[in-house]
Amino acid sequence: MTDHPTSPNPTAVPATTARPNPAGVRRLAVLTSGGDAPGMNAAIRAVVRTGTQQGIEMIGVRRGFSGLHRGELVVMGARDVANIIQRGGTILLTARSRTWRTPEGRARGAQVLRDWGVDGLIVIGGDGSFHGGHYLQEEHGIPVIGIPGTIDNDLYGTDHTIGYFTAVETALDAVDKLRDTGASHERIFVIEVMGRHAGHIALDVAVAGGAEEVFIPEDHKPVAGVVEIVKDSVAKGKRGSIIIVAEGYEGGAQGVADAIEAGTGLETRVSILGHIQRGGSPVSSDRILASRLGEAAVYALMEGRKGVMVGRGASGVIYTPLHETWEKRKDVSRDLYRCAMTLSI
Ligand code: F6P
């Protein structure tokens, strides 16, 4: 990426597209951190192209905060992000860095950014990544903007996070396939979807996949209730049942399946979808969200904003202090749960 011959940064920005740059931003860096999410590449593309179009030199940091304190930086131009909008994963690579949790690690990273003359850092990731960005700014004064990139959709300050829509589609596709087998064998399938602390994916998949019951970490619902639900559905003549469990629910899918088998004696299968939900080509909603937030993140730094996440709500772009994205709780939709239960008669 460093020496790409066809990716020069423009020296002059056409007056029609130039944005106010009161912060005097000349160089920006971008990294992806934490769990990868479909649409991260679309966000990188949007950040690099928006900055380039504004006459800002763009730097990519490889391997997240781990790469930052090791100095793994590369100059990126518009052509370096060609043909990635449709690709899953992240071309910049990602990591969960232990060293960054130490003040020494962050000091090394801050020095790298100063050595490269970087005026601001854009962090694409989830709450762990935003902790990293928050402390970098607090301790070293380097302006940081967060872009929400996680399949879990568990960040306060945005209706949706990049990767969430695709993860739901991937999980739903698996649920539909498992339903075929469940109905053919008259079995109960207990399907575990991702969501360490949050049930957003589980609730969406439960409604869209026609589940009998759903267990999410937010509810602390006793597992015993599932026995009556399954007995009831058998009594109604149902030939197979789908139960959705978010991975963060205590006991997970296996705990729910064990309770069903012990309480009903019925044949049950567990399917843990796992990391398959993190991969794949992003659906259009994730690409569009990533593109809009990538653009907004660069403009935010040019306007002198810092220490905030750019998110989207009904009113458009929302700026939320990084620490609020994890301190405040984004509630799961109780309406969705009610809807799933109403329709499972
Ligand atoms: O935060 C996203 C997420 O996919 C969670 O749902 C899941 O618990 C976790 O990442 C898995 O992380 P790792 O890839 O490090 O195992």
Q: What is the mean pLDDT of residues 202-209?
A: 98
pLDDT tens per residue across span 111-170:
999 999 999 999 999 999 999 999 999 999 999 999 999 999 999 999 999 999 999 999
| Cα atoms found within 13 Å of the Cα of residue 75, Cβ hemisphere only | 16
258 is catalytic: no
Q: Which is more confidently placed, 250 or 14?
A: 250
d(CA 166, CA 87): 12
The range of the structural domain enclosing residue 266 comes to 164-279
CATH number at residue 236: 3.40.50.460
pLDDT of residue 98: 93
Domain match, 132 and 243 both: no
pLDDT of residue 15: 62
Verify whether ligand 1 is closer than 6 Å to residue 150 (CB atom). yes
Verify whether ligand 1 is closer than 6 Å to residue 278 (CB atom). yes
Give the position, in ligand 1's atom list, of the atom nearest the Cα of 196: 8
**Residue 132 structure tokens:** 């990293």
Give the position, in ligand 1's atom list, of the atom nearest the Cα of 201: 6
Domain match, 211 and 242 both: yes
Percentage with pLDDT > 70 across the chain = 95
Domain match, 199 and 218 both: yes
Q: What is the mean pLDDT of residues 317-323?
A: 98
Q: Is the pTM of this model over 0.85?
A: yes
pLDDT of residue 17: 84
In a domain, 63, yes or no: yes
In a domain, 337, yes or no: no
For the annotated binding site, the residues are: 35, 45-49, 96-97, 126-129, 150-152, 179, 187, 194-196, 210-212, 236, 238-240, 247, 269, 275-278
Verify whether ligand 1 is closer than 6 Å to residue 152 (CB atom). yes
Reported as a pLDDT band with limits 50, 70 and 90, residue 6 is very low
Catalytic residue among 152, 154, 204, 286: 152
Number of domains in the chain: 2
Q: Is the per-residue pLDDT at 244 higher than 60?
A: yes
pLDDT tens per residue across span 87-100:
999 999 999 999 99
Secondary structure of the chain as H, E, C letters: CCCCCCCCCCCCCCCCCCCCCCCCCCEEEEEECCCCCCCHHHHHHHHHHHHHHCCCEEEEECCHHHHHHHCCEEEECHHHHCCCCCCCCCCCCCCCCCHHHCHHHHHHHHHHHHHCCCCEEEEEECHHHHHHHHHHHHHHCCCEEEEEECCCCCCCCCCCCECHHHHHHHHHHHHHHHHHHHHHHCCEEEEEECCCCCCHHHHHHHHHCCCCEEECCCCCCCCCHHHHHHHHHHHCCCCCEEEEEECCCCCHHHHHHHHHHHHHCCCEEEEECHHHHHCCCCCHHHHHHHHHHHHHHHHHHHCCCCCEEEEEECCEEEEEEHHHHHHCCCCCCHHHHHHHHHCCC
Question: 147 and 122 in contact (C-beta within 8 Å)?
Answer: yes
In a domain, 8, yes or no: no
Quote the ligand 1 centre to 35 CA distance (angstroms).
Answer: 6
Domain match, 146 and 266 both: no
In a domain, 335, yes or no: no
Reported as a pLDDT band with limits 50, 70 and 90, residue 60 is very high
In a domain, 53, yes or no: yes
For the annotated binding site for ADP, the residues are: 45-49, 179, 210-212, 236, 238-240
Domain match, 145 and 49 both: yes
Question: 184 and 266 in contact (C-beta within 8 Å)?
Answer: no
In a domain, 203, yes or no: yes
Q: Is the per-residue pLDDT at 16 higher than 90?
A: no
Verify whether ligand 1 is closer than 6 Å to residue 126 (CB atom). yes
Domain match, 191 and 105 both: no
Residues with Cβ within 8 Å of 341's Cβ and at least 6 positions away in sequence, in order, are 213
Percentage with pLDDT > 90 across the chain = 92
Spatial CA neighbour of 268 closest among 283, 252, 257, 253 = 257
pLDDT of residue 121: 98
Domain match, 32 and 150 both: yes
Domain match, 99 and 46 both: yes
Q: Is the per-residue pLDDT at 4 higher than 80?
A: no
Handedness of CA 43, 45, 48, 49 (dihedral sign): negative
Closest residue CA from atom 10 of ligand 1: 35
In a domain, 316, yes or no: yes
Verify whether ligand 1 is closer than 6 Å to residue 239 (CB atom). no
CATH number at residue 308: 3.40.50.450
